[in-house]
Amino acid sequence: MSAPVAPVAAARTASPVAAEAPRRRTRGRRSARVKLVIGGTIVTAYVLAALLAPWIAPDDPLKQHIVDLLHGPSSTYLLGTDAVGRDEVSRLLYAARIDLPVAALVTVLPCLLGTALGVVCGYVGGWLDAVVMRISDLLQAFPMYVLMIVLVFSLGPGLRSLLISFTLVGWVVYARLVRIEVLRIREAEYITAAVTAGFRTPRIIVRHVLPNTLRQTVIYLTSDLVFAVTALAAFSFLGFGIQEPTPEWGNMIAGADPYMAQHPLLTIVPGLVITVLALGFAFLGDGLQDRKEQ
């Protein structure tokens, strides 16, 4: 009885094995798309909120309703008011107009600096490469957050010192990432072909090397936005970032902190707003990485 069963069982087990590779690829592609859609939707929603804040916000984010301090959620104040009577929803919406562009800036600036250094180091090499890489070793030997806090502390609070400290600390990863990519790309036959076609080095770097590093950089940049969004809020919470009365999610949490017991929503909601945006960028970065691996 067992003899005729065996081939059937074998066939049954064999077919999933044979189909496994393509199916896994399909599943991977689908999950990458799902991540990209989720991440894209979240980020788009935030961008729209920031752009449309003046029209969709129910109130002026700076206007203080002295009679309605720490008002609970109501039809007038959907999420209540803060300690000086400002409408929470309006502040959250207007804060997006600060947090999104600042997060983008503190990510893009180090990316530009790091990419430029990484490309030149990787393609030209020599003493410049040695010097830049030793500096990056030095910077990486410190914990990133500590270094940034020290820099912001010594430069004083505000947007300018945030930009400087994020750039001075953040370029390292981009430089290393791009440099490794360039070391790989410069061995590619199409670079040899460009050299034999008579193109000069600057043109080869800009037109042939740089575009081929972009994909890897964009993937990292998207994940880096996750860090930027949370780090920005952290600095503002500590009082080193964007200053009151400008609405910013981090300083909103800081301002609501003493009233946690009476009005917990004032800390919870900005925290959620930050977390969901970070999640959106994380999904985008993950999806891009997955798609690249296929």
Rule CB under 8 A: which residues touch another protein?
188-190, 192-199, 207-208, 211-212, 214
- The three-point CA angle 142-147-151 to 5° equals 150
Minimum distance of another protein from residue 207's CB (angstroms) = 7
User: Cα torsion for 112, 115, 117, 120, to the nearest 10°?
Assistant: -130
Give me the least distance between CB of 213 and another protein, in Å please: 10
Q: Token pair 């970065």 is at which residue?
A: 285
* DSSP 8-class letter at 87: B
3-state secondary structure of 243: coil
In the complex, minimum distance from the CB of residue 183 to another protein, in angstroms, rounded to a whole number: 13
| 160/215 with CB nearer another protein | 215
Q: Any bridge partners for residue 87, and if so which?
A: 81
> Rounded to the nearest whole angstrom, what is the least distance from the CB of residue 214 to another protein in the complex?
8
- Give backbone dihedrals phi and psi of 81, rounded to 5 degrees, phi first: -125, 165
What the block records as the tokens of 247 is 């609405």
Query: What is the spatial distance between Cα 192 and Cα 46, in angstroms, rounded to a whole number?
Result: 45
Nearest to 182 by CA among 241, 118, 256: 118
CB of 201 to another protein, least distance (A): 13
Q: Is the CB of 64 or the CB of 212 nearer to another protein?
A: 212
Q: Which is nearer to another protein, 143 or 198 (CB)?
A: 198
**Would you give the DSSP letter of residue 66?**
G
Asked whether the CA dihedral 268, 58, 42, 104 is positive or negative, the reply is negative
Considering the complex, what minimum distance in angstroms separates the CB of residue 202 from another protein? 13
Q: Which of 159, 150, 166 is nearest to 112 (CA)?
A: 166
Our CB check for another protein shows the closer of 142 and 190 to be 190
By beta-carbon proximity to another protein, the closer residue of 2 and 196 is 196
The answer to whether residues 42 and 282 touch, using CB atoms and an 8 Å cutoff, is no
Query: Smallest distance, Å, CB 195 to another protein?
Result: 6
Q: Which is nearer to another protein, 6 or 197 (CB)?
A: 197
Report the residue number, 140 or 212, with the smaller CB distance to another protein. 212
